[in-house]
Amino acid sequence: MAASSSEKIDLTGIMVPADLSPSDFLIVTPVVIPIIFGALLVMLRSKPNWQSPVAITGLILAMLGSFGLLQQVIANGPITMTMGRWLPPFGISFTADLMGALFAFTGLFVALSGLFYSRFASTTLERRYGFYPFYMLMMAGVSGAFLTGDIFNLYVWFEVLLISSFGMIVLGSDRVQMDGTMKYAFLNLIATTMFLAATGYLYGMLGTLNMADIYAKLRSTDLQGPAYTLALMYLLAFGMKAAAFPLNFWLPASYHTPRIVVSAVFAGLLTKVGVYALLRTTVMLFGEQRDALATGIAWIAGLTMLVGVFGALAQTDIRRIFGYLVISGIGTMMAGIAVATQTGIAGTVIYAVHSMIVMTALYLTVGAIGRLCGSTDIREAGGVYAMSPMLAVAFLVLALSVSGLPPTSGFWSKFVLVKATLEIGAWWLAALIMISGLLTSIAVFRIWIFAFWRGGPEGTRDGAEAWTRVNLESGYRLNAGLAIGLLMFASFAIGLAPENLLSISADAARGLLHPTAYTDSVFGGLPQ
């Protein structure tokens, strides 16, 4: 009875008609594979030695999937898959455009390097407490946020990555971590709740949650006043997630407290998810409203840059210095959002890719410095240059990169952003990017002078060598070297041959500012 009546229903107006080819499933691989492997790792929790190889296998597969997705998006434009084949905007769409696919690939690459580092560095206790399942689920959340085409679904992915990040940041539960987690958890939860409130209003106003549909409906609605309120609420919520001034205080309070790998992937990925969401909402969806807020965003950008570098200059702990440099980088990315020309958005995209790679790598080098010197404080560390020349080379390249000097990825990303600000005549914003770059180089090269060049802890005379040889385990050297080396070479390679990334980010910016290809891919040429 039920079967016969369902056959009579004409599905053409309800379901997506086309059958999917296997390559269409690439879009869900960066999300589904980490979830499956995360579940598998929970089942294998009594086997701490299996955790790391299984997790690495999972992330390699997910990274290959996202690489295939990126290739396909470069070749054919944005790809959409709507869950359950419900016709968009009713089904939840996954839409990979160039920016999302590029970020997903970079994110998984960075996370894979982090896993290599943790292969030796994570203790059996941490493995038993579920470090690897948390890690995989966080990556599922990060990739899901980059690829989803539905704003409520974006909220869900934010929560997935947030709850896993809570598990990771508190792992070890010593007193400093408890304190850091407290601030991290409360402020991030408030930010995502703000995001949810804005989404509730958006749904009440437009009656849709699909981003392509929101884009179309916002441009035909006469409710312009509420649209400005919504743009501002999204700016507030995602600005808080991205740690933009004046909502940045949770970041330096918490990012130096957890395990080094955790700090590294947080610094590399989580704030960048906030920047991604800002690009998606304020630039793509609320383009017109962003234009009105541009001056305000430029102020936020400038102040975030300065607060970040001045904070970095005032610290002695290397991990805390890098925490502030993350904030400074967020300010630089916000400058591109404030400009929002095609060059500006391209600059933000390329800077986000650069920052994911370099901030993660820098935190991993701190882990190595901490193991060599027994401290991550620049007053107590010293002699790393003599102890590990390879680490010194890696740190030097990364320091050049984070300061924005050639021949590294940092140079090109800042170059594009400065060019964008000068094109619209915002010379003061260009000057701020330069000044923050100069101050960043002072902050990182101070680490170089104290921790690498000085022969030992504070008080060591010039030329004297007061360090004691620490023989790191060969397993640690191999894995940390692999992780830091991979990331350093990525930054170096982008610096030497930036053409590919420059053209991809320019296309991504074009797709974000004129998202006709995006909306066409969602609605697939269907009559609306």
Q: Please report, as ranges, the residues that interact with another protein according to CB under 8 A.
A: 5, 9-10, 13-14, 152, 156, 159, 162-163, 166, 170, 173, 175-183, 185-186, 189-190, 193, 196-197, 199-201, 203-205, 252-254, 256-257, 313-316, 378-379, 446, 449-450, 458
Nearer to another protein, 20 or 197 (CB): 197
CA dihedral angle for residue 292, residue 294, residue 297, residue 303, rounded to 10 degrees: -130
Q: 483 and 117 in contact (C-beta within 8 Å)?
A: yes
Report the run of H or E that residue 94 belongs to, with start and end.
strand 93-96
Query: Coil, strand, or helix at residue 383?
Result: coil
User: Could you tell me which of 108, 165, 155, 416 has the C-alpha nearest to residue 281?
Assistant: 155
Shortest gap between Cβ of 320 and another protein (angstroms)?
8
Shortest gap between Cβ of 438 and another protein (angstroms)?
17
Shortest gap between Cβ of 247 and another protein (angstroms)?
14
Nearer to another protein, 105 or 250 (CB): 250
Shortest gap between Cβ of 459 and another protein (angstroms)?
11
Shortest gap between Cβ of 174 and another protein (angstroms)?
8
Nearer to another protein, 380 or 520 (CB): 380
Shortest gap between Cβ of 212 and another protein (angstroms)?
18
Nearer to another protein, 180 or 302 (CB): 180
Nearer to another protein, 112 or 171 (CB): 171
Shortest gap between Cβ of 312 and another protein (angstroms)?
10
Nearer to another protein, 103 or 452 (CB): 452
Nearer to another protein, 102 or 321 (CB): 321
* Torsion over CA: 79, 83, 84, 88 (sign): negative
d(Cα 96, Cα 98) in Å, to the nearest integer? 7
Question: What are 15's strand-pairing partners?
Answer: 86
User: Could you tell me which of 445, 313, 451 has the C-alpha nearest to residue 380?
Assistant: 451
Nearer to another protein, 150 or 507 (CB): 150
374: left (phi over 0), alpha (psi -120 to 50) or beta: left
Nearest 5°: the CA angle 72, 80, 148 is: 105
Nearer to another protein, 446 or 510 (CB): 446
Query: Coil, strand, or helix at residue 21?
Result: coil
Q: 487 and 361 in contact (C-beta within 8 Å)?
A: yes
d(Cα 309, Cα 441) in Å, to the nearest integer? 10
Shortest gap between Cβ of 78 and another protein (angstroms)?
25
* DSSP letters for 295-353: HHHHHHHHHHHHHHHHHHHT--BHHHHHHHHHHHHHHHHHHHHHH-SHHHHHHHHHHHH
Sequence-distant (≥ 6) Cβ neighbours of residue 331 within 8 angstroms: 244, 245, 300, 301, 302, 303, 304, 305, 306, 307, 308, 436
Do you find a cis peptide bond into 407, omega within 30 degrees of 0? yes
Shortest gap between Cβ of 297 and another protein (angstroms)?
24
- Per the structure block, which two tokens stand in for 303? 């102040």
Nearer to another protein, 86 or 415 (CB): 86
Using the structure block, give the residue that is written with the tokens 């079967």: 3
Q: What letter does residue 23 receive in the DSSP assignment?
A: G
Nearer to another protein, 373 or 508 (CB): 373
- Per the structure block, which two tokens stand in for 471? 């023989």
Shortest gap between Cβ of 211 and another protein (angstroms)?
16
Shortest gap between Cβ of 163 and another protein (angstroms)?
7
